Amino acid sequence: QVRLVESGGGLLHAGDSLRLSCAASEPTFSSAVMGWFRQPPGKEREFVAAHNWINNSTKYADSVKGRFTVSRDNAKNTLYLQMSSLKPGSSAVYYCAAGGSAITVLTTSRVGYRYWGQGTQVTVSS
């Protein structure tokens, strides 16, 4: 069982930047694909970004393209999400997810991810 712990959330203003981190209890290279999802208040959990370390490829939701960057440091067993030009609509609980051996290609579906963190709250005020 892989344990994921997110950190870095907080209360920000529109236009601010923030970096989220996700520390894994096991080597992150054991999961080809890791990703970030978010759940705004009263809404479904949605895909934000994913990273595949095998070919160093990434995928983003249209709403965050050009503003968010996902990256991974396998030496530190950590996944990151660099967020810039934050908007009030970015407010949500952000979750880290790992596919384990279940997925080897980038996927936006929650179903593909085997392990989940508890989430970190990001609140952006106007």
pLDDT in tens, 17-53: 999 999 999 887 788 999 999 999 999 999 999 999 9
Structure tokens belonging to residue 43: 């809404």
Q: Which of 104, 124, 113, 117 is nearest to 41 (CA)?
A: 124
pLDDT (0 to 100) of residue 107: 93
Using an 8 Å Cβ cutoff, are 25 and 75 in contact? no
Residue 65, CA distances (Å) to 24, 26, 90 in order = 25, 29, 13
pLDDT per residue as tens digits for the range 87-118: 999 999 999 999 988 888 999 999 989 999 99
Q: Strand 4-7: give its sheet, edge to edge.
A: 4-7, 18-24, 78-83, 68-73
